[in-house]
Amino acid sequence: MSLIETLARMEAAAAGAARPLTTVRHRHLSDRPLVCVPLTTAGEAGAPLGALVGTDRERPLLLTVAQPRDRDLRFAFLAELADAVLPYLDGFADTVGHEERKETDPESGKKVTVQAELCADAPQLIVPSTAGVAYMRLLGRSTRFRRTAEQDPEAPYPAPPHVPLLGRWLTHLGERARVPGSCLLLSMTELLTRHWATGQSALEDQHLGALLAWIDPPEGLSGRAAAERAESARGEDGMLHCPPAGPATDPAFDNALLAPAMARYDADVPGAAEELRELIGGQLRPTWDAVWRGYDLLRALPPGAHVVDRWKRDRWSYTAHRDRVRAGEPPQPKRDDAVTAARKLASRETAQAQLDAQEALDDPLVMAGRRLAGEAFAGEVTAVEESFSEGPRPMPRPLVTLRTADTPLLTDGARLHRPLPDGKAQSAVFVAYEDGAAGSLTVRLTGGMGRGKVPAPGSVPEPGETVCWTLFEHAPRGGPQLPEPEDTPWTHGGPPAAGPEGDAPDPMTPEDFL
C-alpha cells in the first residue's frame, strides 16, 4: 500500500467514513449492466445453490437449486441461468460499426489495413466480490465441455441446450477479467476499493457489506460501527443481518435453516421447495441491493478521460469472441498452450502499464501517488532557453527549467514524458539539477514540437506555467511478437499436439458424486 493510500485510510478511520482515492471513475460502467449474485453449496466444487440475476434492480430473476446433489436440478439451474444470461450477452452482437485495423495478410505476410466489425457496445457483468469472479470462471470451466444431446446423441447425461455455450462465454469473461483495467466482468468490491479508502484493512474490504458501510454509512452510525455490524451482527434467530456476499454461504444459515429445509424437501414435504426458494432468496437479496447501491455510488463519479479508450478494447474482445462462437470454434482449452500463455501475459503486462499511466494522467490524485513515489514531478516553469540539436539539420531542443517540491528518482539522461493538449505525449530528457540540488531542475524537450525549425505553437511551456513530467511512458507498447502455436520451438516442447485429449468432457459416472 502506498503511503498516500495509508494516509487516506487513516483519515477515513479518524473521520468514521471512507475517503476518496480518486477524483474520477477509472472504470467503465454500463448503462445496463447484468448483475449476478451467485451462491454455492459449501464443500462442493461448482454446485450452485442459487443466484439472483438480471438488469432490472427491482425485478431480479431468482434461480435456486432445492437439492444441489441432484444433477437434474443442477442442470435445470444452469439452463435457466443460460436463458437469463445469453440473451443479454447476444444483445450487443448485432449493433456494429466498422473500424480500420492492421492485420497480417495470411498470403503475403504483410501488414494490411482491413475494415473490421466492432460491436458498438458490449455486455458488462457485475458480481459482488472477487470470489464471485472466480466462481464465474469455475462455472465456465464446469460447463463448457459438457455435451448436449444435439451435439452428441450418445452423450451420457446430456446437458441442456445452451449450457456449454454459457460456459464458453463465462470462460471468456473470466479470462478477460484478468486483463488490468478491463470491464466486461467486474466485482463490486474491486470497483469500490479502487475509488475509496476505508478506515479498515484491505482484507476487511473484501466484505461488501462492511465496505459499503464505510463508504455510505447509515444515518447516525460511524463507518466503523456500521461495518462491524455488517460483519457480525446477528438477529435473535442467530442469522447475520447482512449475509455474506457469496458465493459461500454463512455456515450458521446452512446448519440452522438450509439443512433442515433440504431435509424436508428430500422427504417430499409439501411446500418445501417454495420454502427453500424463499430462504435462498432472502440470503441473496441484501447482496443484490448492495451491488446496485455500489453501482449508484460509482455512477456519481465522472469518468476518467481514458476510460472510453479502454472500454473500446473490451468491445474488441467481445466482438472477437462473438466471431469465434459464430465460426463454430471449439471451447477454450483447459490449459493454455505455451504461445497462448505468453501472449496473454504480454498483453496483460502492457494493459497494466497503460492502465497505470492513464489513471495517473486522468486523475491528479493518482498522479500525486506517482509523484510521491518519485515517478513523476510537477512544478512551475521558471525559465525556457532556446537550444538546438547538433547535426546537419538542427532541430529545436529547448531547455526548460522548473521549480518543484517533488523528489523524482532521476538518473542522468532519464527519459521524461508529459501530455500535450492534443493528448499526445511530449518526450524530454533530464539534464541536471540547478545548483546541483533538488528543488529546481532542467529538462531538454526532445519531441512533440513538430517538424519545423521553430517549435509548433503551444508545444513549449511558458515561464509561469505548471507542468507535470512523468518518468513512465504514457502509451507503453506491447511485448515482442511471438511465434504461432504450430511454430512453438523445441525449448518449449514443440508444437502442441493436435486435438488435445485433455479437453475431452469431464468423466461422468452413474453415481451422482456431488
Partner 1 sequence: MNVFRDSRPAAAAAPSARPTPPPSLRQRLTELRGPGIRPRALDARALAALAANPGCRRRALLDGAGVDKGALAQALGSPAGHGQSRFALARGNSFEARVKADGGAELLRLLHARLPSGTPAPEEGEVAAPDLAAAGPEGRAARTALALREATAAGGWTLLDHPLLAVEVAGSPAYVEPDAVVVRPDGVWTVVEIKSFPMIDGAADAAKVGAAARQAAVYVHGLEGVAAQVTAHGERPARVGDRVLLVCPQDFSNLPTAAAVDIRKQLATTRRQLARLTRVDEIAAALPPDTTFDLHLADDGRTATRPADELAAAVETVDAAYAPECLAACELAFHCRGRSRERGAVETLGRGVRGELGSLRTLDEVLAAAAERTADAAAAPADAPGHGAGPEHPAAPERAPEAPGAAPDDTDPALAALRRAARLRAEALGTAGPPVPVPRTAPGAEDPVCR
Partner 2 sequence: MTGAPWTTRQTPGPGGAEPFDPGAAAAAATDAILHDTLHSTRPGVVVDSPPGAGKSTLVVRAARELAAAGHPLMIVAQTNAQVDDLVLRLAEKDPQLPVGRLHGSETGTVDPALAALPEVRTSAKIADLAGMDIVVSTAAKWAHTKVEEGWRHAIVDEAYQMRSDALLAVAGLFERALFVGDPGQLDPFSVVGAEQWAGLAYDPSSSAVATLLAHNPDLPQHRLPVSWRLPASAAPLVSDAFYPFARFRSGTGPGDRSLAFGVPGDGSGVDRVLDEAAVSGWGLLELPARHTPRTDPEAVRAVALVVRRLLDRGAAATSERGPDPEPVTAARVAVGTAHRDQAAAVRATLSELGVSGVVVDTANRLQGREYDVTVVLHPLSGRPDATAFHLETGRLCVLASRHRHACIVVCRAGVAELLDEHPSTEPVQLGVTVKFPDSWEAHHAVLARLAEHRVGWRG
Which residues bind to partner 2, rule: CB under 8 A?
178, 180, 335-339, 341-342, 345-346, 348-349, 351-353, 374, 409, 413, 479-483, 487-493
**Residue 411 C-beta: closest distance to partner 2, Å:** 9
Near partner 1 by CB under 8 A, which window of 112-120, 170-178, 243-251, 488-496? Answer: 243-251
Q: Does position 203 bind partner 1 by CB under 8 A?
A: yes
Question: Residue 40 or residue 488: which is nearer to partner 2 going by CB?
Answer: 488
Residues 141-180 that bind partner 1 (CB under 8 A): 141-142
Q: Is 378 in contact with 371 (CB distance < 8 Å)?
A: yes
Q: Does position 259 bind partner 1 by CB under 8 A?
A: yes
Binding partner of residue 483 among partner 2, partner 1, none, CB under 5 to 8 Å per kind? Answer: partner 2
Question: Residue 87 or residue 502: which is nearer to partner 1 going by CB?
Answer: 502
**Partners of residue 111 on adjacent β-strands:** 104
Q: Does position 204 bind partner 1 by CB under 8 A?
A: yes
Q: Is 105 in contact with 76 (CB distance < 8 Å)?
A: no
Near partner 1 by CB under 8 A, which window of 88-96, 175-183, 201-209, 432-440? Answer: 201-209
**Which ranges of 300-449 does DSSP label H, i.e. alpha helix?**
307-326, 338-362, 364-372
**Partners of residue 427 on adjacent β-strands:** 417
Q: Does position 403 bind partner 1 by CB under 8 A?
A: no
Q: Is 123 in contact with 92 (CB distance < 8 Å)?
A: yes
**Residue 304 C-beta: closest distance to partner 1, Å:** 12
How far, CA to CA in Å, does 343 sit from each of 28, 284, 299, 339, 347? Answer: 25, 38, 34, 6, 6
**Residue 199 C-beta: closest distance to partner 2, Å:** 20
How far, CA to CA in Å, does 285 sit from each of 60, 238, 243, 257, 295? Answer: 9, 18, 9, 17, 15
Rule CB under 8 A: choose which of 364, 447, 479, 496 binds partner 1: 364
State which amino acid sits at residue 86.
L
**Residue 94 C-beta: closest distance to partner 1, Å:** 34
Hunting for cell 466462481 — which residue is that? 135
Q: Is 429 in contact with 414 (CB distance < 8 Å)?
A: yes
SS3 state of residue 171: helix
Residues 297-316 that bind partner 1 (CB under 8 A): 297, 300-301
Q: Is 110 in contact with 103 (CB distance < 8 Å)?
A: no
- CA atoms within a 13 Å half-sphere pointing along the CA-CB vector of 370: 24
Q: Does position 465 bind partner 1 by CB under 8 A?
A: no
Binding partner of residue 493 among partner 1, partner 2, none, CB under 5 to 8 Å per kind? Answer: partner 2
